[in-house]
């Protein structure tokens, strides 16, 4: 996609969005229906800084075709990792014996979302936007937290704030929202992207799960090359989501550390801070980083700490464990949260 195509698409999108109020009306209706469910102890902000002191690496799992190759590798994760999955990948993961910690759902859709979330178990926590379809929430058996969306009328916005606290960005897709939650709310410093390709080979076959994920009718698509130079296709929205992800990773790095295992269009930016590698390698490297950090934290004297750092640091290179500078990371997160 060149700059002229990009500008034309932005103008076209804005014009079309101004004409259609059905999504906005659906949001208003859903949030009014859901309002009796809202309680302060169900706000996502109760999980603020969840992984700040007791660090975990967050694995953000999308629903793209790459998941077919990587779903079994997710079983290599231990309790130092936390999975946040898209609603469209939830059933696929469960069928393969992978139980995510959280499932994020932000859409107001009343057709696909209920069947995505129709699972008979209570060990997955739902992170639901306040505009979600109420009947889908009725069937959910596990814990849930609400993401306050403020794209509603002024009076309702005030009511939602009193119930659930400050709003979260409403826009993008479930993966960009998961990225915000993982870093800005949970305070995670290490994020691994799985099945977040943002591009596809076929417009009819771009999800891993044909049963749970809806296959939207494509409008405008553009040719693009992925990180490996393979010719693929993308949508303007997918391209934007990838750019947003690149931007927040850049803003948080260092000390944040980001890995993509999808081999799509993440990491293509000239100055991208996103590391590209196979999922098994990523898991192994992050486990080692946790082990190294533990050794440093358990060092009893400065002399012991210096010795461990010398062992861990290759000649003329800074050790990766320096990314665990908690104070620096917290200050950067607070800066972004205020902006």
pLDDT digits (tens, 9 = 90+) for 120-165: 999 999 999 999 999 999 989 999 999 998 767 788 889 999 999 9
How many alpha carbons lie under 13 Å from residue 130 in its C-beta half-sphere?
32
> Residue 275: what pLDDT?
94
The CA distance from 71 to 62, in Å, is 11
The CA distance from 264 to 232, in Å, is 9
Q: Which pLDDT band holds residue 104 (cuts at 50, 70, 90)?
A: very high
What are the tokens at 89? 């990948």
| Alpha helix ranges (H) inside the chain | 3-19, 22-34, 67-70, 90-95, 112-116, 134-139, 154-164, 174-180, 236-251, 279-297, 302-312, 326-338
* Radius of gyration (C-alpha) of the chain in whole angstroms: 21
Q: Which pLDDT band holds residue 95 (cuts at 50, 70, 90)?
A: very high
Give the containing element (helix H, strand E) for 59: strand 57-61
- Please determine, for residue 108, whether its predicted confidence score (pLDDT) is greater than 70: yes
Q: What is the pTM of this model?
A: 0.87
The CA distance from 170 to 15, in Å, is 20
Mean pLDDT of 62-82: 97
Residue pair 144/42 in contact (Cβ under 8 Å)? The answer is yes
Per-residue pLDDT tens over the stretch 261-315: 999 999 998 889 999 999 999 999 999 999 998 998 899 998 998 898 888 876 5
The CA distance from 165 to 149, in Å, is 10
């Amino acid at each position: 996609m060149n700059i002229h195509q990009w500008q034309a698409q932005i103008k076209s999108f804005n014009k079309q969005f101004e004409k259609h109020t059905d999504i906005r009306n659906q949001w208003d209706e859903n949030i009014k229906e859901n309002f009796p469910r809202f309680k302060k102890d169900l706000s996502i902000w109760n999980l603020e800084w969840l992984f700040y002191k007791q660090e975990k690496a967050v694995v953000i799992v999308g629903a793209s075709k790459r998941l077919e190759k990587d779903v079994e590798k997710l079983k290599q994760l231990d309790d130092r990792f936390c999975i946040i999955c898209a609603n469209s990948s939830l059933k696929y993961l469960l069928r393969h014996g992978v139980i995510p910690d959280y499932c994020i759902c932000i859409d107001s859709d009343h057709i696909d979302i209920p069947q995505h979330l129709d699972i008979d178990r209570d060990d997955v926590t739902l992170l639901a936007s306040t505009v979600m379809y109420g009947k889908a929430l009725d069937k959910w058996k596990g814990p849930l937290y609400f993401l306050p969306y403020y794209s509603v009328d002024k009076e309702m916005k005030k009511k939602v704030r009193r119930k659930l606290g400050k709003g979260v960005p409403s826009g993008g897709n479930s993966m960009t929202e998961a990225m915000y939650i993982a870093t800005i709310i949970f305070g995670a410093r290490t994020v691994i992207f799985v099945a977040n390709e943002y591009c596809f080979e076929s417009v009819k076959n771009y999800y891993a799960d044909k049963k749970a994920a809806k296959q939207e009718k494509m409008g405008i698509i553009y040719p693009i090359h992925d990180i490996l130079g393979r010719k693929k296709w993308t949508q303007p929205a997918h391209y934007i989501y990838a750019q947003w992800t690149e931007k927040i990773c850049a803003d948080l790095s260092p000390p944040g550390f980001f890995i993509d295992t999808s081999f799509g269009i993440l990491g293509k930016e000239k100055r991208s801070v996103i590391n590209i590698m196979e999922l098994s390698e990523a898991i192994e490297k992050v486990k080692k980083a946790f082990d190294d950090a533990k050794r440093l934290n358990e060092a009893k004297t400065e002399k012991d700490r210096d010795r461990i750092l010398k062992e861990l640091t290759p000649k003329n290179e800074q050790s990766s464990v320096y990314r665990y500078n908690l104070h620096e990371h917290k200050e950067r997160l607070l800066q972004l949260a205020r902006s």
